[in-house]
Amino acid sequence: MYSLMMLSLAVVLASGAAGRPRAADTLKIVALGDSLTSGHGIGKSQAYPAVLERSLREANLPFTVVNHGVSGDTTAGGVRRIEAALAENPDILILALGANDGLRGVPVPAVRRNLEQAIEAAQARGVRVLLCGMDALPLYGWQYTMDFHQIYPELAAKYNVPLVPFLLAGVVANQAMLLPDMVHPNAAGARAIAANIFPYLQELAAGLVATS
């Protein structure tokens, strides 16, 4: 009889714990991106997701930020990897893809469709999305560049998600922020990218902590 009572109590406690919101120290962010996210040439410890994690903790927002960056990836690759990213059970998804699409001249409708699929997959699971804007160099004409730029604000409005206007603001063509290849950010560049993202991410993160 005693054993049966203890078993019943354990079941009640377990079900109660499962129904409670997660503690702030278990909240998680996944950054889904390409080499700008992965830390190409500088390592993950200096890449912007790691910088963001440190900045959040300094702001008393103890989130874990998981780096799902893959060098050379495109928005199509992001669609293929979105399930693995969401399997981390994140509360927030930083969606930072498109740079390689722009370099390769991927048609704008395809880029848009891929980003839509990623956003919809995250929102279907209740994951908040932070979309990071990207621009395309005028390698395929100015119309392509302008149409590419418009993808991000239009999707942010469509899905009601916050938008980092341009992920690489202050980094592009800035020798002090780039590796010798003049393409990928160095450690200072990664910190600048994190600074571009942080105000938008901080607002999302603070809102989650307030309701946890």
Active-site hit among 3, 55, 184, 212: 184
Tally of CA atoms within 13 A in the half-sphere of 141 that contains its CB: 6
Task: Return phi, psi of residue 31, to 5°.
Answer: -100, 110
Vertex 26 angle, CA 24 and 29, to 5°: 95
Q: Measured between alpha carbons, how far is 76 from 104 in angstroms, rounded to an integer?
A: 12
**Could you confirm whether 35 is annotated as catalytic?**
yes
Active-site hit among 8, 25, 35, 45: 35
**Could you confirm whether 184 is annotated as catalytic?**
yes
Q: Measured between alpha carbons, how far is 124 from 5 in angstroms, rounded to an integer?
A: 40
| Residues 192 and 172: beta-carbon distance below 8 Å | no
Q: Measured between alpha carbons, how far is 6 from 187 in angstroms, rounded to an integer?
A: 55
| Residues 29 and 64: beta-carbon distance below 8 Å | yes
**Could you confirm whether 181 is annotated as catalytic?**
yes
Active-site hit among 3, 25, 181, 212: 181
Catalytic site residues? Answer: 35, 181, 184
